[in-house]
Structure 1
Amino acid sequence: MSKKPFAATHAGKAPGKHRYGVVGGLGVIAGADLLLKMIGAAQRRPEMRDVGIAFEQRHFDSGPSIADESYNPSRRKFYVYDTLKEMEARGIDTALVPCFVSHTFLREITPELDIRVISLFDALRDWLAREHPALRTIGVLTSTYVQKSGIFERELGARYAIVYPDAAVQSDKLMRAIYGPSGIRAGHHGGECVELLAEACHCLVTRGAQLIVPGLSEVPVLIDSLRSLVAVPVVDSNLVYAEYALGCEAAPPLREFKLGVVGGVGPAATVDFMHKVVRLTGAARDQDHIKMMVEQNPQIPDRTANLIGSGADPTIALLATCKQLEAGGAHAVAIPCNTAHAFVDRIQPYLSIPIVNMLSEVVQHIRAQMPAVSRVGLLATSGTVASGVYREVAEAAGLQLLVPDAAVQELIMQAIYGERGVKAGFTSGLCSEHLATAIRHLAEQGAEVIILGCTELPLIAIDVAVGQAVALLDPTEILAARCVALASESAAIPRHDSGKMPPLA
């Protein structure tokens, strides 16, 4: 299956109406410099003077402070991810990460977020194209780690030739200016560190640089002192980043479709549903499969007991389970339980994500794949039969629904709930005999196709001859196929402002 990313949206928001967050702590001085320049940029635009900007800075120990070739960014990854998730939880929708090292791994993080993260490289690319359209060669001042990562070549190399200081200048001048005892990170804003940076810039000019881009967010802190010492323009990358973030409507985060599954109704049926989703997904590798989040809640009160007797109402438990899935980032919910669909209309209005209606999908499947069929048999729990939910959707589609008489319906209940029924872990023997009897019974009444309308019924083994005598439909399989199709189609479906899918047709 060729999956498309699921794009969240901030539709309807004008530039400057976002709630902004700046991830600080990655370089204390650099983060403060970006914040100051972002506030200044907002003040220069009357329509944005009341914009909200949150600055999140906590103690962050990244291990060895110098970002050399052997630097391990793992702790930085966790820090950035945790900070962005906390911002997301506070309702911040647009974030800036003023750190070039962090941009080497942002693509690993952003698919797991609903917050929009503005790219430093998008800002630079936009500014360079507008301000220097004839530019061909740029010099880059960045850490050895970022240089070796190749991110500047990947992000800007298609349009510009990228040059760096030679190895000796890189280590003895540039890295010392940032990380050395008299460097910017040690709190020095003049003297030796400015001279060292100027020497690194001179090296870039001799290598053909027409303009210098700081790939270290500390360099712009000294931009005014540095520019007077360099023969070519030096970009204030922090200012460019701030102005771009405030003025653009950059692409929203791209999210892979995530399916929420209400599990435990029943437990074996949940596993069967997931197995069918996996089997029906055309995948060549693990990453091609659909994200699924399962809330396994076997304590949801029995649906049939409520519909035909005095059993506890499962509505709130079903809604709470769906809410957990919604909170976990699911874009749609599947409930692999036919009887539970008697409660779907009650809970759908309280969700901002759609429940994929298994019953409607089954009837649509019959109409699309079996257009000549007019008489449909239903084998299901007494609760499903009594609720009339299948009858409503079948008759609306012009189908006559046939159900067993009382004696045969009791056999179906025994096959499902009996001591040797499928919910007790049996899939052959007495439950198979009862199911075969019920299938023959509906076939004799004229059923042209029979819906196995309890998600446990397809788990029961039946004789091959019985299965060939009349077409049997597995609603779990049909629901799984629809969810796989929905994941594939998701990028083309319009979204609400919440970033969730609209109700399914």
Structure 2
Amino acid sequence: MTAAQTRAGRKFGVVGGLGPLAGADVFFKLIKSLSATCEAEHADVIVEQHPFGTAGSRAEASTGRMLYIFDMIRGFEKRGVTTVLLPCFVSHTFIDELKANSPLQIVDMMEGIRRHVRRRFPAVRRIGVLASEYIQRRGLFETYFTSPGFDVMYPRLREGVDLVAEAVYGPDGLKSGCLSGRPVELLRVACDDLISQGADIIVPGLTEIALVAESMGPLTVPLLDSNLAYAQYAVSGRYALPETPFKVGVVGGVGPAATVDFIEKVVRNTPAARDQDHIKLLVEQNPQIPDRTESLIGDGADPTLSLYATCKKLEHGDADIIAIPCNTAHAFVDRIQPYLRIPIVNMLTVTVRHLRETFPAMRCVGVLATSGTVESGVYAKALASQGLEQVVPSPPLQARVMEAIYGKEGVKAGFTTGQCQSDIAAAMEELIARGVDVVILGCTELPLLLPQPTYAGANGASVRLVDPTDVLARRCVAYATARAEPHHA
């Protein structure tokens, strides 16, 4: 991608308020840099600032700054900003945390300065930096100028006084809006000290210094305009797009216990050595979605809109794929998928593919599911696509399956033992008697009643149980760990 293509369609947001004058200077230089390109008409720029206090301890002030910036970025996101400028060196000490929690491109000011120095001053090795004591202590410049031969230096104290701090933060300093007189004189003395130490170039490590750079008069070494270098780097587009972790969106609440079961299976199937290796999940727990079975076989409300609205929330939350841990809900997937920008991983489809790959010689498959799932024909159709035939319980036993799921002592009511177990066992015995070797647990609550991978019948016959929730969880994990493009989910 060329720089011109990268610029096209971007909207820049400048986080102001960190210091207001410096933010305005970066904004001005960004506009100036954009006007120097023929693609300027393709870029919008906004700057926003609010009162930002730094009261409290240094740790509290740093935390407050971080949260202020995060809230500003979230506001930018809602306004369509794609690229954020952060004109504050202190804030770049935690830029990695900001990048990890924002979908927007945050342009690294320090990387822009480093590249500018290397490109424009390739012979430079000794970098003199006008920075605060905090930036010095955090080693921000040392982190970026780490190549062999580079040496970062700072002005020495003059009679116990930090010249840079006094010039910027003093009672008549740059932060207070004083852009002439004593602050300029102090900075000039600091520059002379750096030159005496052998600096090849002087780089401001405080964005306010660029406001008075010309007022300091000529120096024997270059004095970099770090704000302009930052603006030009932002316009160039020569930086990588943000790497956002793969996110699985989960339509939850259909039913609630099944959602928890699905999440547990995602966690269990994820290869992870630490917390941070696990998959990012966005769960929209919406138990108010109308009952799918009642809609399919009774006079219940149509859940299509509620399912679609829940999926759109996941889409707006930057999910990459959507999982719906509810078999019956998949009778409505074809209605809503065409209107989504991200794919729903079809639990039925991936389960049937798993069956065909695992049991290549099999022809008939038992299905325990709600009557709505059975009568919708979604499993029969999916199985037929792989040359498999669906076998379901007879009407009297299907009624007992429904009782085990929806009854007063059924699994949706929180029961996993007692009558619901007896009802499911009766349905299983009938399927075994009809010669099936594999049974799909086609309702996401059923694995709570049949948690083992096999079921032993009363006559000694054993059948394999396939849990679509587990298959779906494994498929989502596979997409997330491989960052695959699930176009055919």
- Contact 1:435–1:462 (8 Å) recurs in 2: no
For residues 385-400 of structure 1, the aligned pairs below 5 Å read 385-400=374-389
| Structure 1 range deviating more: 331-340 or 41-50 | 41-50
Query: Aligned partners of 2:476, 2:327: CA distance in 1, in Å?
Result: 16
Instruction: Tell me if 1:343 matches 2:332.
Output: yes
The alpha-carbon deviation at position 223 of structure 1 amounts to 1.6
The alpha-carbon deviation at position 385 of structure 1 amounts to 0.6
The alpha-carbon deviation at position 418 of structure 1 amounts to 1.3
Query: Aligned partners of 1:331, 1:10: CA distance in 2, in Å?
Result: 26
The alpha-carbon deviation at position 202 of structure 1 amounts to 2.0
* Alpha-carbon spacing, 1:211–1:350, altered in 2? closer, same or farther (3 Å): same
Which of 5, 9, 12 aligns to 1:17? It is 9
- Contact 2:437–2:462 (8 Å) recurs in 1: no
Instruction: Tell me if 1:54 matches 2:43.
Output: no
* Alpha-carbon spacing, 1:468–1:259, altered in 2? closer, same or farther (3 Å): farther
- Contact 1:24–1:32 (8 Å) recurs in 2: yes
The secondary structure found in structure 2 opposite 1:472 is strand
Which of 162, 169, 174 aligns to 1:172? It is 162
Q: Quote the residue 2:468 is aligned against.
A: 475
TM-score under structure 1 normalisation? 0.91
For residues 86-485 of structure 1, the aligned pairs below 5 Å read 86-158=75-147, 160-167=150-157, 171-226=161-216, 228=218, 230-461=219-450, 465-466=456-457, 469-485=462-478
Query: Aligned partners of 2:154, 2:298: CA distance in 1, in Å?
Result: 77
Query: Aligned partners of 1:10, 1:485: CA distance in 2, in Å?
Result: 33
The alpha-carbon deviation at position 13 of structure 1 amounts to 4.7
The alpha-carbon deviation at position 102 of structure 1 amounts to 0.7
Number of residue-to-residue matches in the alignment: 484
Query: Aligned partners of 1:448, 1:117: CA distance in 2, in Å?
Result: 56
Which of 478, 489, 499 aligns to 2:482? It is 489
The secondary structure found in structure 1 opposite 2:113 is helix
The secondary structure found in structure 1 opposite 2:135 is helix
Moved over 3 A (4+): 9-14, 68-72, 167-171, 461-464, 502-505
Instruction: Tell me if 1:40 matches 2:32.
Output: yes
Amino acid at match of 1:208: G
| Structure 1 range deviating more: 379-388 or 317-326 | 317-326
Query: Aligned partners of 1:86, 1:360: CA distance in 2, in Å?
Result: 39
Q: Quote the residue 2:67 is aligned against.
A: 78
* Alpha-carbon spacing, 1:503–1:227, altered in 2? closer, same or farther (3 Å): farther
- Contact 1:379–1:450 (8 Å) recurs in 2: yes
The secondary structure found in structure 1 opposite 2:204 is strand
| Structure 1 range deviating more: 194-203 or 336-345 | 194-203
| Structure 1 range deviating more: 243-252 or 92-101 | 243-252
Amino acid at match of 2:311: C
The alpha-carbon deviation at position 251 of structure 1 amounts to 1.4
Amino acid at match of 1:218: E
| Structure 1 range deviating more: 199-208 or 347-356 | 199-208
Coordinate RMSD, CA, aligned? 2.3
* Alpha-carbon spacing, 1:347–1:119, altered in 2? closer, same or farther (3 Å): same
The alpha-carbon deviation at position 446 of structure 1 amounts to 2.3
The secondary structure found in structure 2 opposite 1:53 is strand
TM-score under structure 2 normalisation? 0.94
- Contact 1:265–1:298 (8 Å) recurs in 2: yes
Taking only the aligned residue pairs, the percentage that are identical comes to: 49
The secondary structure found in structure 1 opposite 2:435 is coil
* Alpha-carbon spacing, 1:31–1:11, altered in 2? closer, same or farther (3 Å): closer
* Alpha-carbon spacing, 1:155–1:314, altered in 2? closer, same or farther (3 Å): same
* Alpha-carbon spacing, 1:196–1:442, altered in 2? closer, same or farther (3 Å): same
Query: Aligned partners of 1:50, 1:227: CA distance in 2, in Å?
Result: 37
Amino acid at match of 1:209: A
Cα deviation, 1:73-115, whole Å, max 9, x if unaligned, reads 1111111111111011000111101000111112112222221
- Contact 1:267–1:298 (8 Å) recurs in 2: yes
The alpha-carbon deviation at position 170 of structure 1 amounts to 8.9
Amino acid at match of 1:265: V
The alpha-carbon deviation at position 10 of structure 1 amounts to 13
| Structure 1 range deviating more: 202-211 or 372-381 | 202-211
* Alpha-carbon spacing, 1:81–1:468, altered in 2? closer, same or farther (3 Å): farther
The alpha-carbon deviation at position 49 of structure 1 amounts to 5.0
The answer for unaligned runs of 5 or more in structure 1 is 1-8, 494-501
Query: Aligned partners of 2:8, 2:337: CA distance in 1, in Å?
Result: 34
Query: Aligned partners of 2:343, 2:4: CA distance in 1, in Å?
Result: 22
Amino acid at match of 1:489: A
Amino acid at match of 1:331: D
* Alpha-carbon spacing, 1:95–1:423, altered in 2? closer, same or farther (3 Å): same
* Alpha-carbon spacing, 1:440–1:13, altered in 2? closer, same or farther (3 Å): farther
Q: Which has the higher contact order (CA 8 A, sep 6+)?
A: 1
| Structure 1 range deviating more: 150-159 or 374-383 | 150-159
